[in-house]
Amino acid sequence: MQNKITDRQLKKEKERLTNQKVQIEQIKEIRSYFAFNSLSYKIQEEIRKKWDNYYLKVKKSDGYKEYKQMLKVFKKGDLAEVRKLKQKARKRLEDGNFMPTPKETDPNEYGGGIYAGYRQICSRIKEITFKLTGKGDTAGIFS
């Protein structure tokens, strides 16, 4: 016996997914994702470059080096040294000595979480639409 999905079931699932999609689109983070995707490729690359430079600077910072050192010392079991490094880190936090982050949202955040779920829902809606109509949705292919 073949387990065949009827058009009625597909339409029901499409409606459910469309409602989910609409709910997700009301979330602030998804709107920033849309805004980022509506930017030109050149501007997107500039934003990515700003964040890449920021992460490079962070990795070269004293705080990051001390953090890595703290991990090594902790693995060795030298808790006295860990406490010293922890106090240095706390002092840095209290001083507010932070590296300024770029104003734009980090594009690396768009890779997972709610964004991946949103893209999955959109793909499933396109798949169901194709099964129902036999025609694919070409909107957004070249954007």
What digits encode the pLDDT tens for the residues 41-55? 999 999 999 999 999
In whole angstroms, what is the distance from residue 46 CA to residue 39 CA? 11
Domain-by-domain residue ranges, the chain?
1-61+111-143, 62-98
DSSP 8-class letter at 21: H
In whole angstroms, what is the distance from residue 99 CA to residue 129 CA? 48
This prediction has a pTM of 0.62
Map residue 40 onto helix, strand or coil: coil
Give the pLDDT means over successive 10-residue stretches in the chain (143 positions): 70 90 86 87 94 92 85 86 85 80 85 83 88 70 49
